[in-house]
Structure formats: structure tokens, C-alpha cells
Amino acid sequence: MKTKSIMWMTTGSPFRNGLRNIATLLISNIHKLVSIRINSLLLESLATTCPSESLSQRLRDLSELKVPPISSNKLKAELCFLSQHHMQSEFESSISMSTKDETHVPLDLGITDMKHLIKRPSNASANSEINQPSPMILVEECRFQWDIPHYPEIDDLGHAHSPGHEDHPTSKSLEHRKAVLNSFDWRNKILLELEEPPFLATVATAKSIMKQLLDPEIEEHCIEGFGGSEVVQLVDTYKLLRDDQTCGLRLLYDQAIDEKNRHAPTDRIDCIRWVCYYNPIMTRALELAYKYCRDDKERLVVYVEEPWIQCIAVALFVVAGFNVGSIRSSDTGEEQFKIMDQWKNKASGLEILVANVNTKVRDVNAHTDCTKGLLLNWTLEPARMLKMINNMGSTNQKKQSIFHMLKVADTYHDVIERVCCTKWAMQLSKDIKLPEWMTGVVHEICIFELIKSTWHQQFNRYAWVVACDLKGHDFEYHDPECRQLGHVFSIVAKLMLHHPEDKEFWVESMPILMELCFHFKDAFDKSDGLECRLSLTPEQMRKSFLPIFKGMKKRMGSA
């Protein structure tokens, strides 16, 4: 007994090795994210809350002309090229495809202040409900046009970790941030895995240096630690970025390419092409910005959570010639309210507001005179995203509000979406009233169908919940089988919600409903296109599919 206790205290014990692995992984992750954090500090230091003005002022200080505007035709042609490269659908086509198979609920959900599961503002009158449609939410899935390797440590939260690692909230958060960055732009993985970090300074040291650099009363040679390698690296990088027209985007190029004989693009169109060619999300974001702000003469609020993603988005919009405002988590409360006041004043000329969700934008409605919203990186908490969407229901305009939720399919973004939908489904199960007989799996299928119709997802995400339950985390989110199963769940939900006269059949089928759904899926070839059948009328759907379900149930009963 004594020997055993001593063995667990030796350096080779599994317990100690596990702790050492956790500590090593944690320190490694922190160091990797330090470079990204310092990158963000550098880019934020180059811009005020109005980065378009900051860039113009810097060029004037350098005795250069104001940044020449990119011609509309040139920018439009570039966006057309990039959109074709990423095989993205046209805007009108995207909306048409997303709305054609909505499941409209023909019964009272028991919540008077919700329409299509989106809350109306508390002061909305009955007339405003009629005059102003509910916000349209569009989950838009982009895709990388090449294979991106999967790394087990970021495939899912709490999965493929070292022993005991899954219980460490800090490391889980770090893995989540890495996965979010890599899914947004695969080049971030290069930045996170540089053999030699671009900066030797700590985040605290970098903050101090940036603060001194921005202080007009402090000469460069008077900066604390001046002459040391930590300070020299940061000062040189700051000066390099300050003197160019890319609003800091060349930093991403310099670190991702790391070839001294290749120079970063200085022409703005070349810069846009380099950033967007490998980034389908920013391609779509830029395309939407052009449509809303240039073609339609409207304004756009862009939401982000990760500061580095915000830096890239702000820089790209500025380089493309938009008048941009930015609310950053590093800004003081006074600075945040100041830019919000500017945004609410349409005479300010601001076209785009890029807002970090961890700021005052949570408490102040940015959509009083703006009907268009865009989410660049999802949060793990659906309530935070729903609040942004709910704010769009209180605009002063009669146009329909549209909220785009962008993601890259077959990346960690799918995991975030599954987590969000599951959390929201759990909350909706408490809030809405489906018929009492709808319990268990029937209830869950219908709840996920309501989410699918509200967010205009490509298929019912309950298929992900089932796949994860059956296979663990080792499944393909967009496998044809998975998509087909999602369409089957949509058919089942439509049949149950629209035809209460068939209640007895569905109640009797509950114990074997999941098995019935799998048999139904297998009865149709994947190329058959069940998705096309979702736009059938309730009567057509009942006539086409209910006999198939009944026949399958009968055969299973006699087997």
C-alpha cells in the first residue's frame, strides 16, 4: 500500500504526466495566441474608432495625397471574380433558395410577442407589426475551395484532449479561440504555428509600448526599453504599417508568406484579392457591403467577437473605400458611446459599423436607422446573437430587416452552430407550446424544424444531434447522408404540424420513429433530391409521404 502511494508521486506517474501535458499545452496555446493579440494591438493602434479618417490623416501627415477611391466598376469586377472563385450563389438566388421551403406553424405557440420565433420590441404596436415584417435571418454557408487539414485538438469542445484536459476551462477557451481563427481564415493557422514568434514582447509590454508610441509628448528614443529587441521589433513593425495604405493588412501577408523576396501588395485591389482569395467569408462580407452600401445606398452593421477578425474586417472595408466606424473591446466606454452617437447621426457619412459584441453595442441598439446586419463569427451563446437580431425589429424604417450569419462549412463553425442550435432548442422547449402529444423525439424534431425555418438553414440540424449521438464527434457534418436525414426530419415535422388528424399514427410510431426516419431516408437515392420535395403544399406532402411511412411501419411490425 505504501509502495503504491509512493509510485503515484514519482515523476513517471500517469497523474503527473497528465498534469504536465496540460500545463505544456496550456503554455503553448497561450504563447501562440500572444502573437495574434499583439497583431491586434498593432492594428488597433493605427486606427481610431473612425479608421477611414485615421488612414487619410496618416497619409496627409506623410505629405501624400488622400487615398484615391477605387472605381465602382473595378471593385465590382473584382468581387465578381472572387465570388465565382468561391462558387458563391448570387444574393437574390440565395434568398430564394432559403425561403422556398419554410415551415409555417399553423397553430398558436403560446407566445404573443414572438413571430417566427423572433421577439418584437416591447413597445411595438399592432400596426407596426403589420407594417414592418419580422427580420429575415439567413445562415450563409461558404466553403474553402481546397482541402483544409483537420486537427483533432480543435475539432470539438471537450474532445480529443489530454487526460483531465476537458475539465480545464482556460485551455478549452484557448482551443476554441484557435479553432475560430483557423475557420475564419486558414492562414491564421500559419500565424499560430510560426516556429519563431514575430514578437518577443509580452502582451503587457506591447500595450505599454503602443501607448508610448501614440503619446505625442514621448519621443521614440524615450520609450522605455528603447534599443532592446522587444521594443525594436514592435516599433519597426508599427512604423512600417503606419506608412502604407493597406490599413495594416500587410502584417497578415508578411507573417503568413514569410518570404523576404516577395513584397506585400500595395495596390488596393491587389490587397483585396490577396485577402479574399483564400477567405470566402470576407469575400461574401465585401459583396454584401457593396450591395447594401453602394447599390442600395443603405448602411450595414457588422458584428464580430474576436478582435483579430475585427481588425481584418475593418481594414478590408477601409481599403475597399467604405466609410467605416468601429467599436472595439479595447475602447473606453466614452469612446464606444461617442462612435455610437456618430453612427446614429446619418449625416456623419458612416456606411459600415463594425462592432465587437463584447462592447456597449450589447446595450445600445445600433439598428434604429439600419435594417441590415452581418455576423462574421458566431458566439457559443445563442441568446447573444438573438439579441442583435431582436434589435433589428425596432428600426425606424419599413423595409424588411435582413441579418446574415456567415460561416464556413466543414470547419469548426459547424460545431459552434450545433452547440448554438442545441442550446436554443433547450430554451425553446420551455418557452413555446406545441401540442401536448408532441413529446420526446417528436418534440425535438419539431423544435429544430422551427429553428431551421427561422434561420433559413440548408437542412434540419437535428440530423447533427442524432449523428453526434450515434457516432460521437467523428462524423461529417455535410455528408449527403446527413443532409438527407435532415430533410427527412423536415418532412416529418411538416406532416405532424400541419395534419393533426394523423396524431394517432405518430403517437403509435414514437418508439420506432427514428428507425422509420432512417428507413425513409434509405428508400430514396441521395441524388433524388428530397430537398426539392420540401416546397410541396401540406396536402401534397401528406399524399406523397404519409402512405410510405405507414407502409414502413406495417412492414416493421410484421417483421
- pLDDT of residue 532 exceeding 90, the answer is no
Rg from Cα positions in the chain: 26
Classified as helix, coil or strand, 558 is helix
In terms of pTM, does the model score above 0.75? Answer: yes
Buried b (16+ CB within 10 A) or exposed e, 336-363: bebbbebbbeeeeebbbbbbbbbbbbee
- pLDDT of residue 216 exceeding 90, the answer is no
**What CA–CA distance (Å, rounded) separates 319 from 311?**
12
The residue among 32 and 234 whose pLDDT is bigger is 234
- pLDDT of residue 150 exceeding 70, the answer is no
DSSP code per residue over 49-111: SSHHHHHHHHHHHTTPPPPPPPPHHHHHHHHHHHHHHTTPPPHHHHHHHHHTT-----S--S-
pLDDT of residue 171: 46
- pLDDT of residue 293 exceeding 70, the answer is yes
The x, y and z cell numbers of residue 213, run together, are 508610441
The dihedrals phi and psi of 407, each to the nearest 5 degrees, come to: -160, 165
The CATH superfamily holding the domain 24-111+194-406 is P-loop containing nucleotide triphosphate hydrolases (3.40.50.300)
The residue among 88 and 80 whose pLDDT is bigger is 80
Most distant CA pair in the chain: distance in Å?
Answer: 88
pLDDT of residue 97: 67
Weakest mean pLDDT among 79-83, 127-131, 134-138, 209-213 = 127-131
pLDDT of residue 384: 87
- Stretch 18-33: mean pLDDT: 49
**What CA–CA distance (Å, rounded) separates 213 from 191?**
25
Instruction: Give me the residue spans of the domains in the chain.
Output: 24-111+194-406, 412-557
Q: Which of 175, 136, 170 is nearest to 395 (CA)?
A: 136
- Stretch 477-495: mean pLDDT: 95
CA distance to 10, 35, 229, 255, per residue, from 250 (Å): 50, 15, 21, 9
Q: Classify residue 308 as exposed, middle or buried by CB count within 10 Å of its CB (0-12, 13-18, 19+).
A: buried
- pLDDT of residue 161 exceeding 50, the answer is no
